Amino acid sequence: GAVVSQHPSRVICKSGTSVKIECRSLDFQATTMFWYRQFPKKSLMLMATSNEGSKATYEQGVEKDKFLINHASLTLSTLTVTSAHPEDSSFYICSARRGIGGMSYEQYFGPGTRLTVT
Amino acid sequence: GQNIDQPTEMTATEGAIVQINCTYQTSGFNGLFWYQQHAGEAPTFLSYNVLDGLEEKGRFSSFLSRSKGYSYLLLKELQMKDSASYLCAVRDSNYQLIWGAGTKLIIKP
């Protein structure tokens, strides 16, 4: 099956610093990658959708200047949380979809990154 | 608006059968997914339905009725490791996944 990795799996940073999370599709080319945020006992909240080589599409209420997304290649997308605050502490999960447009039906999830901002 | 409903929590006994229901109202329909999520981990794919009917995969089966906006996930021969949250998600006309809040399944010996 398709494998998606995320790095780091856990990160603790100080308030005001920036943190970069990497998402890689290991054995397939991901034309579309998604970034989700999940609060405890809550469902997944889509933050943004990124297509390789183009700007990410952010969901309403998500600050694009705070959550920088780069999808530089078909196997790598990065999420950078800039000037992190304690309220940014959360579980961030990426997923990758292969295929063109909506023709592929499966999204493969990374293992998630637990961010704690102190 | 778009909405997906599933029970917040269910309890079942090891070895038994449990059915987790999901109802949805979305802008268009391009498939329904069930995911399993253990605490602290990312979701893992369980099943995909796009046509009406039952899809069986080992101990897990998933059913879809598009006319009723309804699906269920059936888990048989429950094992303790099945204790997890089960997320229902629908892909809408924009091919975006709309997520339910998840059903926490507690398995008792």
Cβ of B31 within 8 Å of Cβ of A46? The answer is: no
Tens digit of each residue's pLDDT (9 = 90 or more) over B12-64: 999 999 999 999 999 899 899 999 999 878 888 899 899 999 999 899 999 99
CA B12 from chain center: how many Å? 16
User: Nearest Cβ partner of B45 from A45, A101, A106?
Assistant: A106
Instruction: Please report residues of B whose CB lies closer than 8 A to that of A96.
Output: none
Q: Do B42 and A110 lie within an 8 Å CB cutoff?
A: yes
For the cut 80, the answer to whether the pLDDT of residue A73 exceeds it is: yes
Residues of A in Cβ contact (< 8 Å) with B41: 111-112
- Could you tell me how many CB contacts below 8 A there are between chain A and chain B? 42
Residue A1 has pLDDT above 70, yes or no: no
- d(CA A47, CA B51) in angstroms, rounded, equals 29
How far is A24 from A72, CA to CA, in rounded Å? Answer: 11
